[in-house]
Structures are given as C-alpha cells and as structure tokens.
Structure 1
Amino acid sequence: MTTPTTILFEQRGAAAWITLNRPAAMNALSDAMCTELLEAIERCERDAAIRVIVLTGAGRAFCAGADLKGVFENTQSGPGPRDPMGEFLDLVNRMMDKLRFCPKPTIAALNGLTMAGGLELAMACDLMLAAESTRIGDAHANFGVFPGAGGAAILPRRIGPTAAKYLLFTGDTLPARDLVPLGLVNSVVPDAELVPEVEKLAARIASKSPLVLRRMKQTVADGLEQPEAVALRLERLVLEAHSHSHDIKEGLAAFVEKRTPNFKGY
C-alpha cells in the first residue's frame, strides 16, 4: 500500500476510520484519492480485526464531488490511444464498487457539504449519519456534467424518482434533515456529536457476528432485485447454511448462559 497523501487511516477499536483529507479542495475526488480509498478499503477487507468501516471528511465538507479541474483537463485531451476521462471514471467506479460490495458494514459520517460524487460516495455506504450543518445535493447539472457513479441510477432507488429528479434537475442542496424522511439519511445529530454518535454506532455493530452481518448485507442486496417470494427462498437458503456456523451456536449458547457472546466470524 502506498503512503496516503489524500486520506487519513485510523483504527479505533474494531472500526477503521477513513478520512478524506483534501479540506482546501472540499475533499474533491482526485485520481490519487480514489486510488488511496480503493487500497484502504481492500486493507479493511483483509484485516479480520476491522469489523466496521467509517468514511468521513476533514474540514467543512464530506466531499464536494469530483475534482472538476481535473475533469476539465481530462476532457480537453484530443484523439489518441489514451482516454483520461474514461480512465478516471473507471477508477472512480472501481473504488465505489469496492466500497458498495465490501462484505463489512460501512458508515458514511457526513460532516459537511455532500454533493455530486460525494453523494454517490455516501450512497455506496450502508448507513448515513449527518451533522446538523450538512447539506446534500447532486449538483452535476450545475456544471453540465452527467453523473457517472450512481447519481442517476441509484439515487431514484433510494428516495424515489420524483425527489431524485428534483435534486438532479435543479442542482440544489438540501439540509440533511430533509432527507431523513425519504430514507437517504439514517439520522442527523448536532455537529459536535457526530463523531461520538458514529463511534457508538460502529461499536454496537462491531459487537455483532461478522458472519451474520456479512450474510445479512449480501441477502438484502440480492433480495432487492428479486420478487418477494424469490427473496424469501434466498433468505431461507442462507439461514440453512448459517445454521451450521460457529457464531449461531455461540450466540445461542451465550443467550442460554446469560453471557456476552464471543463471535469469531465463521
């Protein structure tokens, strides 16, 4: 793993905190940042001691989207064997997919402005907690840019097509609190309480069986694309496999013995 220059990586208990660290650029996504995020997520996947991943930003933004200066430069290249814009989008989507399909629970801790690629990054996480001052929007239309990592494809699935089209068409940002009823944001807390609240949530999740969390996450994702009857059959098949695991036996034994379970993740 290269030495990070655009992110900070810290392990707090069983949670890895990855902080986007380009505050002067509102934590805009660059080639270097996307590469470092990809490597950091892979590191978390390999480390059994890490059970939850938290993504947040330094300064007054979570992430303002892609680095538009870099995007502009990439669009100016003439015909040739390289396609810098395409290469950047491929890198962004590899990183987003790595985060989206990570088997461990992920939390986006929105500490400030979250828009365009920043919103797409947050949506790649499982849960989203926001500071009171956070504003969220798409903003691609403000610069004549088309979304490339879920803004037009995933946002309507999260908040419905009408609300999504409002954010897409207007480029407006809304208070994070307005997006709680639509199911995009789990909760909003005072700015000073964001980190403590996310730490508490991460610790609660990390105390659960890593195996059951991984299977729950995968079954939810797979089931959403299936008719209800198919999703139910899938759930039962996963339960059948899970019934032979150490963690279910340990969890039930701990219940009977009135003690805290010691989950192993297998």
Structure 2
Amino acid sequence: MTQDDVRFEIRGSAAWITLNRPERRNALSVELLDGVATALRTAEGDRAVRSVVFAGTGPMFCAGADLTRVLDELGGAGVTDFLRRAAGLFDQVARHPKPVIAAVHGGVVAGGLELVLACDLVLAARGATFADGHARYGMFPAAGGATRLPRRIGANRAKQLLFTAEGWSAQRMYEAGLVTEVVDDDRLAAAAQQLADRIGRLSPLGLARIKDVVDTGLERSLEDALAYELAACAEYTGSRDFAEGLRAFAARREPEFVGE
C-alpha cells in the first residue's frame, strides 16, 4: 500500500506507517488522516503484523494540523469537523489491538504530539523536541492533548507544557515519563525495529489483553480494575498461546505463538 501522504510497509513483523509530507513538516491534512486510518485497518487485519511503528520523513516528525490548508478548503466552520476527524483517528491509534510505537525525530508539535500521546511506546531521537504550542496562538488542544497529556506525565507537568507552549527536549520528556527511550539520532529507526522485533516474538493475543487491561484499568477504580484483570487472565488461559507458553516453559525452548 502506497499513498502520497502516507507510506505503509511491512518490516519483519511490524507495520511501519510513515507520515510523508516533508515539504509541510508532515502537517496533518484530511488526506493524511484518511491514509493513516486506512493503514491502521490494514495492520489490524494482517495476522502477521504484531506491532505498528509511526515515523516521519524529512526534518520533523509532525508539525500538527495543516491549518492553512484546512481553512482554505473547509473554512472556519470546517475546523471543528477536522478536529473531530483527528480525534477519531487518535482514538483509533489508542484502541488498536496491537502495540503502537512512535519513533520521533526532529520536532513534534500540537496535533503531532496528540498523535504521539495515543501511542503505547515512544522512542525519541536525542535531538527531538516536544511541544504543544496551541496556547501560543490562542488555540485549544481538542484532539486529546489536554486529556491524554496529564495521564502520561502528570497534571503539573502537563499544565506547564500546555500553558507555556515551550518545547521540551527528548531527555526531559523521558524524565517526565512520556518517552520510553532516548537514542542517538542515527539509531532511531534501528532501535524502533529492534523493539518491534522483540514484541513480535511474544503472544499477540496476550499483548492485546495486557494492553486492554492497562488502558481500561486507568479508567476504573482499583477494585474494578483488579477484577477486570483477573477476568481477562482467566479468559486468556483458555487460548492456544497460553498453552504453548506453558509447553515451551516446560521444555525450555522458545515458544511459537499463533495469536489464538
């Protein structure tokens, strides 16, 4: 699958979705959002795909929404519709049953940051910077930024980032808890692939259950979350992957998971 604004390719067990508008710093357009949504559905339907990696071409991961184009094509009234479309896409990313990795280089701003916030794991090049940026121009983070950011880095840090519109380094975002690993700029793609390969050797069904339990648990009381975790585990123990894991453990060999 190839589109002008979005590249989709399989590398090992990972589906790479690459934002490909370098001349616009990979700013989000309607076409790009639709291309990413299609790529995510393709990855979900491919049993051989065990994880998804987001990347960007050019000097920047994503500069946020292409507001100039949105205003020209949709007008002021269309901005809200565009934001709903973006929010829907980011929900699709967050709810994807397979682990989603963001490989961030250069800079990520506003809507680009909201895309990253919807991902499960975030690798960052050492030279990358993160910013919300909406407040600089009197705008509002309406596609998850004001909601997901405090859940990832805490309310105090989130407010500082949102209120000041300043850029934070990859290292600072690592210390805040959003970035899971900082790597040298020239190792970003290799590090993302290594992480995807590691995930690809594990049970896709088991990881899907774990992802669901983690995300659902954040929205429930501790008591309800623990009960949900136990129920999910009980269901998973009836799967072929669980049985294969036990056999492999007993035989002291690497398991071969099928995702069932």
**TM-score of the two chains, using structure 1 as the length reference:** 0.94
Q: Describe the superposition over 1:134-169 as per-residue Cα deviations: whole angstroms up to 9, x where unpaired.
A: 000100111221111111111111111111111111
Deviation at 1:121, TM superposition (A): 0.3
User: In the alignment, what sits opposite 2:180?
Assistant: 186
Deviation at 1:76, TM superposition (A): 4.2
The AA in structure 1 aligned to 2:237 is S
User: In the alignment, what sits opposite 2:197?
Assistant: 203
C-alpha distance in 1 between matches for 2:217 and 2:111? 26
Counterparts in 2 of 1:1-266, with a 5 A limit?
A: 4-73=3-72, 76-77=75-76, 83-266=77-260
CA contact (8 A) 1:74 1:85 kept: no
The AA in structure 2 aligned to 1:162 is N
User: Displaced runs of 4+ in structure 1, greater than 6 A?
Assistant: none
Q: Percent identity?
A: 45
What SS does the corresponding residue of 1:133 show, helix, strand or coil? coil
Q: Describe the superposition over 1:159-185 as per-residue Cα deviations: whole angstroms up to 9, x where unpaired.
A: 111111111111111111101121111
C-alpha distance in 2 between matches for 1:4 and 1:143? 32
Q: Describe the superposition over 1:170-229 as per-residue Cα deviations: whole angstroms up to 9, x where unpaired.
A: 111111110112111101110011111111110001110000000000011111111212
C-alpha distance in 1 between matches for 2:127 and 2:67? 24
C-alpha distance in 2 between matches for 1:131 and 1:26? 17
Deviation larger for 164-173 or 211-220 = 164-173
CA contact (8 A) 2:53 2:101 kept: yes
C-alpha distance in 1 between matches for 2:94 and 2:46? 18
What SS does the corresponding residue of 2:145 show, helix, strand or coil? coil
Deviation at 1:234, TM superposition (A): 0.9
C-alpha distance in 1 between matches for 2:189 and 2:89? 24
The AA in structure 1 aligned to 2:51 is V
126 and 167 in structure 1: CA distance in 2 versus 1, 3 angstrom threshold: same
C-alpha distance in 1 between matches for 2:138 and 2:46? 41
Specify every segment of 5 or more residues in structure 2 that has no aligned partner in the other structure, as ranges.
none
The AA in structure 2 aligned to 1:42 is R
What SS does the corresponding residue of 1:167 show, helix, strand or coil? helix
User: In the alignment, what sits opposite 1:80?
Assistant: none
Specify every segment of 5 or more residues in structure 1 that has no aligned partner in the other structure, as ranges.
78-82
Coordinate RMSD, CA, aligned:
1.3
C-alpha distance in 2 between matches for 1:40 and 1:233? 34
